[in-house]
Chain A
Amino acid sequence: MIEPTVRIRPARGWEAIDFRELWEFRELVVFLSWRDVKVRYKRAALGIAWAVLQPLMSMIIFTVIFGRVAGLPSEGLPYPLFTFAGIVPWQLFSASVSSASNSLVGSAQLLSKVYFPRLIIPLASVGATVVDFAVGLLMLAALMAWYQHAPTAAVFFLPLFVLLALIIAVGIGLWTSALTVRYRDVQYVLPFAMQVLLLASPVAYSADVVPQGAMRVVYAVNPLVGLIQGFRWTLLGTEPPGSTIIVSIAAALILFVSGLMVFRRMEATFADVV
């Protein structure tokens, strides 16, 4: 008796993820990401300049309002440099989440005409934001050179924090993309939620303003807290994130795994309702 190549069954609630199949379709993730990047910059009049302008404008605004007017402390660093090291991972996160959440609805045509693991779609949309992130990192390097601020040996941990950023972004992206297919309202709630999250993350201010102890642990449940602290530590040599990073990593992993499970559960009906 030969094993069938494909076995089709009714959907049955929680199902395991077929990582082997996902791996077989790895090229498609790359192609779709590449398409998103290409189309985005072909259409925009300023092209790649947007990837530079966006974080730059944020930095200027934060520097003026939070640095100058409010006079928030910046752990002894020049405020623009301090905030920019938070803006870069924040933008990777926020761009990934917003493009992932619209990705399935935007690919309705594809979903109803051809099969591939549905996970590919939000993954590819996150992949497309990595280009902007790379531009952001280069700008940060330029800014560090400008302020003559050399990185410490901690810079070797940077890839781990990039990975953490992607895990958080994909985790939330899976939740929101799957929910958006069912409830389009998510699209309206999301921008507001992102604003709240920006204020709840140490992008414009230092996590040190939150007292150590129980408060800090609760604060670190927002995985972006550990992430952004980690970025500053690896690049600018500020205080290492300490125990908050454990809480943040745990929160990130819970988001990621639950996101995968929810997505997997809901994907059976995507083609029918999208």
Chain B
Amino acid sequence: MSHVSIRVDGIKKQYRIGETRAAFRYGSLRDSIADAVAAPFKRQREAARYIWALDGVDLQVSTGEVVGLIGRNGAGKSTLLKVLTRITRPTAGTAELYGRVGSLLEVGTGFHPELTGRENIFLNGAILGMRRTDILRKFDDIVDFSGVSEFIDTPVRHYSSGMYVRLAFAVAAHLEPEILLVDEVLAVGDAAFQRQCLGKMEDVSRSGRTVVFVSHNMPAITRLCSRAVLLSAGKIADDGPADSIVARYLASELGSATERTWSEADSPGNDDLRLRRVSVVDETGKVLESVDVRKPLGIRIEFDILARKHRFVPGITLTSDQGQLIFTAFDTNRMWRDPQPPGRYVSTAWIPGQLLNEGTVSVSVALGTFSPGGKTVRQAHANDAVAFQVVDPGEGDTARGDFPGIWTAPVRPLLNWSITQS
């Protein structure tokens, strides 16, 4: 009989939203001063708006279990992890953890660019809860794993972003807690490094430790986890063996796969037009699992025209995991100026490489008719039909250059920079 490692009882977490008040507003100095003076009093007056990021979560994890937390952006996965790691306190409910807890919500937390690789190993290790003696003991392993031994006494600001991430992950990989809580951290680094990370995660999960792992990477979830828990709107929507939960999730409206197929019966549309399949493909037409930020990708829309009736255009809308609109585009081919005969059509939108930012991109598709009033009538549409992960391999040849930090903004185009010197 296995012991309980994590017990969560009715955890709720409420957040206040809309506190970006002054952050994005340009005002006069007088406004700023007035704001500054009024700030301590203003907060109470502001109409408070609250959301429940977690709305009553009950969960038990046994010792040695490897659990994947899945769900859409905003479903509460990361909030649950933040509560379990004690970064934030719940609004209601309790949780108990039995065993030494290690957490990894971000690679390289506390890394300082001015310090050398060696110094950062000690600093980061201490932040993650390792003792100095533990770090000393594992130091050589960490350096080996990272593969940056030549530069270990160089300040990390001279590192490429790939080296930086490798060193940071190497430290975290050598934590030896009884309970490991991991957020999406594998979406960094090149393919070889990602394999190395997954391998290390597999070792950890086989060693009898309890792991809770948040990821959008479904293949990684099914590979690493025995059990998956699906969160939706702050509640547990599904819980069971990883394979079947992931399969159900991907097939459902909640899924965020790179491929979505509809049967004739449940395909979105009307009597004249039907969406049948949407997929994210590379130049050869192969369905992608994740997208290299440097390479072009296609959003492939397959649909049936059942009756030659409407003028319409296929279109796509991309949104980021922060909910920002990235762009909207529609097929500008001349053939769509006229109604087309019945049949299966495939329209693929090619998005150039070096344009999108890293992160999860969600794609909505529609077959829409422009109406005279400047509006669009959607004949068939699927919101968030597919989603894909954009990954920067960290080789310094993207718009990121060697900058390792967080890059906001929905797009990150690689521009041509010309230099003149006088």
Contacts and interface: CB of A to CB of B under 8 A. Distances in A.
A31 B87 contact: no
Nearest to A111: B87
Contacts of A31: 122-123, 126-127
Interface stretch (B128-136, B219-227, B338-346): B128-136
B119 A38 contact: yes
Interface string B24-43: 00000000000011011000
Interface residues of B, number: 46
A119 interface: no
A185 B105 CA distance: 31
Interface stretch (B107-115, B188-196, B290-298, B357-365): B107-115
Interface in A1-18: 2, 4-11
Interface string B78-114: 0000111111111111111111110101100110101
A112 B112 contact: no
B89 A110 contact: no
A128 B90 CA distance: 33
Contact of B126 (A5, A27, A39): A27
B370 interface: no
Given A35-B115, A185-B36, A28 B88 contact: no
Given A31-B123, A115-B85, A272-B15, A8 B97 contact: yes
A183 B109 CA distance: 25
A8 B12 CA distance: 12
Contact of A10 (B37, B91, B115): B91
Interface string A242-274: 000000000000000000000000001101110
Interface string B347-359: 0000000000000
A184 interface: yes
B89 A5 contact: no
Interface in B354-386: none
A43 B7 CA distance: 47
Interface residues of A, number: 36
A6 B97 contact: yes
B262 to A, nearest CB: 40
A9 B89 contact: yes
A272 to B, nearest CB: 6
Contact of B39 (A7, A32, A35, A185): A185
B115 A188 contact: no
Contacts of B82: 271
Contacts of A188: 36
Contact of B94 (A7, A35, A112): A7
A109 interface: yes
A147 interface: no
A10 B91 CA distance: 5
A178 B232 CA distance: 34
Contacts of A268: 89
Contacts of A5: 97-101
Contact of A113 (B100, B109, B123): B109
A191 B14 CA distance: 36
B36 A43 contact: no
Interface string B10-27: 010001000100000000
B148 to A, nearest CB: 20
A8 B122 contact: no
A39 B115 contact: yes
A109 B93 CA distance: 26
B96 A183 contact: no
B110 A8 contact: no
B127 A110 contact: yes
Contact of A185 (B40, B90, B128): B40
Contacts of A23: none
A114 B128 contact: yes
A115 B36 CA distance: 31
Contacts of B96: 4, 6-8
B98 A2 contact: yes
Interface in A106-123: 109-116
Nearest to A269: B89
A68 interface: no
B106 A113 contact: yes
Contact of B87 (A32, A113, A184, A185): A113
A188 to B, nearest CB: 7
Nearest to A29: B126
Contacts of B127: 28, 31, 110, 114, 116
Max chain B Cβ within 10 angstroms of own Cβ: one of A6, A9, A183: A6
A222 B114 CA distance: 39
Contacts of A114: 85, 87, 103, 105-106, 109-110, 127-128
A274 to B, nearest CB: 11
Contacts of A10: 89-93
A38 B115 CA distance: 8
Contacts of A25: 129
B32 to A, nearest CB: 11
B89 A11 contact: yes
B39 A8 contact: no
* Shortest 3 CB-CB contacts between residues of A and residues of B: A4-B96, A8-B95, A6-B97
Given A42-B114, A114-B110, 11 more contacts: A2-B3, A5-B98, A8-B94, A10-B90, A31-B126, A39-B112, A112-B87, A114-B105, A116-B129, A183-B39, A271-B88
Interface of A: 2, 4-11, 25, 27-28, 31-32, 35, 38-39, 42-43, 109-116, 183-185, 188, 268-269, 271-273
9 contacts: A4-B96, A8-B90, A9-B89, A27-B132, A31-B126, A113-B87, A114-B127, A185-B37, A188-B36
